[in-house]
């Protein structure tokens, strides 16, 4: 029998990411024991029924006790109080990590509660779907995706290396960067697109002359693409914007400037500006497909 | 042998839509003869090689001669001069239609060139992919999609009915509305989303502190969804914005107002506004899936 990578892994939060981690850990035999915690009794019931964890706990402290890997998988706004709650129960030598979409705020909220001898290594798998909750997880979620680790200056090198191996065993590629840079990068590749998707769906919901039924019926013209992101978990995303404010606001300023330039080109019939802007945008898609970060199939290869 | 629906169909333009129409007409036996015209010799060569048309013509007049259905499938900015060119060659009793994404401008550009006895019925299939050109077409493109016809007040009822049957035979559902309303509806479900997609890709391309390689690598956080639309044909889209100016500008004003409200909520840490906006947006996705206008699979069911 091969030795599992960790004896006991505690998943604090059993939504899309937590439950997917449980599935892939089980498939790959990465944990001797998977202990899960969820705040809501309904989520714990689903977890018990699906059986993706070996034990399910109402109290986070009971899940982390004796764990050599503890993963915070709740919305980032919950980290400060979760870290405080588990602090006294973390095993010496344990690795404490998280999966949050912002990293500087996680360091700010969690680090004060990390006891000496526990290795805190923040992390973020760039993976997800528009679904949420314990039933939405699946073992393949992290395959071919990047996971970014943002170790602190004094993070234990062995702990970082072990966590890297763990994510690689989940199917991910691992990158290392500092938390502030992570937050700037993700504001572009994730936080701004998500906000724009929410916003366009909001704009379309508030029209007088076009009915909602029309918006739905004719959504294949492009609108439907935005609604996928806009179906994502509102709590998770609220916490992202509250915790990556500066980077998102800076980027929103740029986005609005660029949009004003296009708006002006439309108003004044400036076809050359429109054409050159559109022409330039084509190339990005090609590069994303070449990098293996999206399918080359037209329309994402979707069935309908 | 069943009689084909039309004896000779002329496709003026052999890009994604024109070539897809040829494929589905051939599969369903809708045309006795498919005559194609493309402005560029390269496109005509591909059409000859793929053989989806029965004849390929360098001059639009040669394609439309004797056709009982003529379909304008070029970017909408080309319609005025195409209509003028073919005007004298249209057969009496022929149906003239188009597939353009804007309708009031098409009426403005084409109607002056429609001879007495030719039935002009503008149309718009809400179907497409991010790909373009004669190699991108396929017979299933129009299945389960809506096609909107915008007949004129004095359009011949039989001609409208025949065109409806044609699109239904291509797999589409058909709706009828006036051109102005079409342009307002499509500004929401198509023209604004497309412009926003181009804009966010532009914003992401112009950063100093985040590299383009980082944008590409971590695009699975949401950004990649926008790049699909932004890979669409720039000429086609330039013409859309130049020809649906009022509706798009009106909607852009609303979009920017809504975005300013979200921006303000982020700046002032107003989590309630963010949460309630996001929560409300979830429902739209569910309704689009129920209406059969998108897949229910997470992540569009894509493979990568």
Q: Are residues B141 and B185 in the same domain?
A: no
| DSSP 8-state secondary structure symbol assigned to residue A76 | G
Interface of A with B in 86-145 (CB under 8 A): 101, 126-131, 136, 144-145
Give dist(CA A74, CA A301) in Å, integer. 32
Nearest CA in chain A to B212: A284
Nearest CA in chain B to A269: B242
Q: Are residues B234 and B162 in the same domain?
A: no
Q: Are residues A24 and A170 in the same domain?
A: yes
Q: Are residues B138 and B42 in the same domain?
A: yes
**Tens digit of each residue's pLDDT (9 = 90 or more) over B16-30:** 999 999 999 999 999
The pLDDT score that the predictor gives to residue B1 is 53
Which of B175, B206, B217 shows the shortest C-beta gap to A291? B217
Mean local confidence (pLDDT), A115-135: 96
The reported pTM is: 0.93
Using a CB-CB distance cutoff of 8 angstroms, which residues of chain B are in contact with residue A148? 218
Phi, psi of B142, rounded to the nearest 5 degrees: -95, 0
Mean local confidence (pLDDT), B77-101: 98
Closest CA to B298 of A134, A129, A190, A301: A129
The pLDDT score that the predictor gives to residue A302 is 82
**Best A223, A235, A276 residue to mutate vs chain B (most B CBs within 10 Å):** A223
DSSP bridge partners of B119: B95
Phi, psi of B254, rounded to the nearest 5 degrees: -65, -45
Mean pLDDT, chain B, integer: 96
Which of A192, A214, A225 shows the shortest C-beta gap to B225? A225
pLDDT over threshold 60, residue A1? no
Q: How confident is the model at residue B304 (pLDDT cuts 50, 70, 90)?
A: low
Does the beta-carbon distance from A126 to B200 stay under 8 Å?
Answer: no
Q: Number of CB pairs < 8 Å for A and B?
A: 373
The pLDDT score that the predictor gives to residue A304 is 64
Q: Are residues A199 and A248 in the same domain?
A: yes
| CA dihedral of B97, B102, B108, B113, whole degrees rounded to 10 | -30
**Best B147, B150, B286, B300 residue to mutate vs chain A (most A CBs within 10 Å):** B300
Q: Are residues A58 and A128 in the same domain?
A: yes
Using a CB-CB distance cutoff of 8 angstroms, which residues of chain B are in contact with residue A219? 189, 288, 291, 293-294
Does the beta-carbon distance from B286 to A184 stay under 8 Å?
Answer: no
DSSP bridge partners of B123: B149
Give dist(CA B304, CA A127) in Å, integer. 11
Rounded to a whole number of angstroms, the distance from the CA of A211 to the nearest CA of chain B is 8
Is the distance from CB of A127 to CB of A161 less than 8 angstroms?
Answer: no
Separation in Å, CA B176 to CA A216, A223, B22, B143:
16, 21, 23, 18
Give dist(CA B61, CA B70) in Å, integer. 11
**Best A126, A129, A218, A303 residue to mutate vs chain B (most B CBs within 10 Å):** A218
Closest CA to B152 of B189, B112, B125, B93: B112
DSSP bridge partners of A10: A35, A70
**Tens digit of each residue's pLDDT (9 = 90 or more) over B140-186:** 999 999 999 999 999 999 999 999 999 999 999 999 999 999 999 99
| Assigned domain for A1 exists | no
Is the distance from CB of B83 to CB of B114 less than 8 angstroms?
Answer: yes
**Tens digit of each residue's pLDDT (9 = 90 or more) over A52-92:** 999 999 999 999 999 999 999 999 999 999 999 999 999 99
| Assigned domain for A133 exists | yes
Q: Is A287 on the interface with B (CB under 8 A)?
A: yes
Q: Which one of A142, A157, A177 terminates a domain?
A: A177
**CATH number of the domain enclosing A274:** 1.10.3660.10
Which of B136, B207, B266 shows the shortest C-beta gap to A188? B207
| Assigned domain for B56 exists | yes
**CATH number of the domain enclosing A65:** 3.40.50.720
Count how many domains chain B has.
2
Q: Which one of B178, B209, B228 terminates a domain?
A: B178
Q: Which domain holds residue B223?
A: 181-293
| Assigned domain for A40 exists | yes
Closest CA to B106 of B89, B124, B126: B124
Does the beta-carbon distance from A299 to B127 stay under 8 Å?
Answer: no
With a CB cutoff of 8 Å and minimum separation 6, the contacts of A146 are A125, A126, A172, A173, A174, A175, B217, B218, B220
Q: Which residues of A178-212 are buried (b: 16+ CB within 10 A; e: fewer)?
A: ebebbbbbbbbbbbbbbbbbbbbbbbbbebeebee
Does the beta-carbon distance from A203 to B192 stay under 8 Å?
Answer: yes
| Assigned domain for B59 exists | yes
Within 13 Å of residue A269, how many CA atoms lie on the same side as its CB? 2
Pairing mode, strands A146-149 and A123-125: antiparallel
Closest CA to A9 of A167, A130, A126: A167
Q: Are residues B172 and B43 in the same domain?
A: yes
Give dist(CA B44, CA A28) in Å, integer. 53
**Tens digit of each residue's pLDDT (9 = 90 or more) over B244-286:** 999 999 999 999 999 999 999 999 999 999 999 999 998 899 8
Q: Is A194 on the interface with B (CB under 8 A)?
A: yes
| Assigned domain for B109 exists | yes
DSSP helix/strand/coil, A154: coil
Does the beta-carbon distance from A186 to B255 stay under 8 Å?
Answer: no
The pLDDT score that the predictor gives to residue A98 is 98
Q: Are residues A62 and A152 in the same domain?
A: yes
The pLDDT score that the predictor gives to residue B205 is 93
Q: Are residues B174 and B185 in the same domain?
A: no
With a CB cutoff of 8 Å and minimum separation 6, the contacts of A27 are A139
pLDDT over threshold 60, residue A171? yes
Which of A202, A218, A300 shows the shortest C-beta gap to B228? A300
Q: How confident is the model at residue A38 (pLDDT cuts 50, 70, 90)?
A: very high
Q: Are residues A25 and A171 in the same domain?
A: yes
Closest CA to A90 of A53, A129, A116: A116
Q: Which residues of B35-74 are buried (b: 16+ CB within 10 A; e: fewer)?
A: bbbbeeeebbebbeeeebbeebbeebebbbbebbbbbbbb
**Tens digit of each residue's pLDDT (9 = 90 or more) over A228-281:** 999 999 999 999 999 999 999 999 999 999 999 999 999 999 999 999 999 999
| Assigned domain for B99 exists | yes
| Assigned domain for B298 exists | no
Q: Are residues B171 and B209 in the same domain?
A: no
DSSP helix/strand/coil, A120: strand
Phi, psi of A2, rounded to the nearest 5 degrees: -75, 145
Q: How confident is the model at residue B221 (pLDDT cuts 50, 70, 90)?
A: confident
With a CB cutoff of 8 Å and minimum separation 6, the contacts of A69 are A6, A8, A9, A10, A31, A94, A95, A97, A163, A166
User: Burial of B156 by CB count in 10 Å (0-12 exposed, 13-18 middle, 19+ buried)?
Assistant: middle
Q: Which one of A126, A144, A177 terminates a domain?
A: A177
Q: Are residues B87 and B152 in the same domain?
A: yes
pLDDT over threshold 90, residue A8? yes
């Amino acid at each position: 029998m091969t030795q599992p990578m960790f004896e006991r892994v505690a998943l604090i939060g059993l939504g899309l990411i937590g439950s997917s981690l449980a599935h892939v850990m089980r498939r790959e035999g990465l944990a001797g024991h998977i202990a899960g915690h969820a705040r809501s009794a309904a989520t714990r019931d689903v977890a018990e029924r699906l059986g993706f964890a070996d034990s399910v706990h109402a109290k986070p402290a009971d899940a982390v006790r004796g764990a050599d890997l503890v993963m915070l998988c709740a919305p980032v706004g919950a980290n400060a109080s979760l870290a405080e709650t588990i602090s006294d129960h973390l095993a010496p030598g344990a690795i404490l990590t998280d999966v949050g979409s912002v990293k500087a705020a996680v360091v700010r909220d969690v680090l004060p509660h990390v006891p000496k001898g526990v290795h805190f290594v923040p992390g973020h798998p760039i993976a997800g779907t528009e679904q949420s909750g314990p039933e939405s997880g699946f073992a393949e979620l992290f395959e071919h995706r990047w996971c970014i680790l943002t170790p602190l200056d004094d993070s234990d090198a062995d702990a970082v290396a072990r966590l890297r191996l763990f994510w690689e065993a989940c199917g991910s590629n691992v990158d290392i960067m500092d938390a502030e840079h992570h937050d700037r990068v993700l504001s572009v590749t994730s936080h701004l697109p998500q906000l724009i998707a929410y916003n366009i769906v909001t704009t379309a919901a508030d029209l007088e002359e076009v009915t909602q039924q029309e918006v739905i019926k004719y959504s294949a013209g492009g609108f439907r693409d935005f609604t996928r992101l806009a179906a994502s978990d509102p709590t998770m995303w609220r916490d992202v914007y509250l915790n990556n404010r500066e980077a998102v606001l800076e980027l929103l300023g740029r986005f609005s400037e660029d949009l004003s330039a296009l708006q002006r080109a439309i108003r004044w019939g400036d076809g050359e500006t429109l054409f050159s802007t559109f022409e330039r945008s084509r190339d990005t898609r090609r590069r994303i497909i070449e990098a293996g970060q999206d399918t080359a199939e037209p329309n994402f290869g979707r069935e309908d």
